[in-house]
Chains A and B, each alone.
Chain A
Amino acid sequence: QEPPDDSEAAGVRSAEEVIRYEYHVLYSSSYQVPVLYFRACFLDGRPLTLDEIWGSVHASYQARLQEGPWDTITQQEHPILGQPFFVLHPCRTNEFISAVLRGSQGQHRQTNYITLWLSTVGPVVGLNLPLSYAKLAPEQSTDADLL
Chain B
Amino acid sequence: MTDDKDVLRDVWFGRIPTCFTLYQDEITEREAEPYYLLLPRISYLTLVTDKVKKHFQKVMRQEEVSEIWFEYEGTPLKWHYPIGLLFDLHASNTALPWSITVHFKNFPEKDLLHCHSKDVIEAHFMACIKEADALKHKSQVINEMQKKDHKQLWMGLQNDKFEQFWAINRKLMEYPPEENGFRYIPFRIYQ
Give residues in A with beta carbon < 8 Å to B: 30-31, 47, 49-50, 70-71, 74-77, 83-84, 89, 91
Query: What distance in Å separates the Cβ of B134 from its nearest Cβ neighbour in chain A?
Result: 5
By Cβ-Cβ distance, the 5 closest A-B pairs, closest first, are: A70-B123, A75-B113, A30-B131, A30-B134, A84-B113
Contact with A76, one of B110, B111, B113, B134 (Cβ below 8 angstroms):
B113
In the complex, what residues of A have CB within 8 A of residue B111's CB? 83-84
Counting chain A CB atoms within 10 Å of each CB, the highest count among B112, B123, B124, B130 belongs to B123
In the complex, what residues of B have CB within 8 A of residue A84's CB? 109-114
Total A-B residue contacts, Cβ distance less than 8 Å: 40
Query: What distance in Å separates the Cβ of A118 from its nearest Cβ neighbour in chain B?
Result: 22
Bound: A21/B135 CA distance, A: 32
Q: Of all chain A residues, which has the CB nearest B122?
A: A70
Q: Mark B32-51, 1 if CB is under 8 A from A, else 0.
A: 00000000000000000000
Given A30-B135, A31-B131, A77-B78, residue A50 in contact with residue B114 (CB < 8 A): yes
In the complex, what residues of A have CB within 8 A of residue B110's CB? 83-84
| B123:A77 contact, CB within 8 angstroms | no
B119 within 8 A of A: yes
In the complex, what residues of B have CB within 8 A of residue A75's CB? 113-114, 120
Q: Of all chain B residues, which has the CB nearest A32?
A: B134
B127 within 8 A of A: yes
Q: Of all chain B residues, which has the CB nearest A75?
A: B113
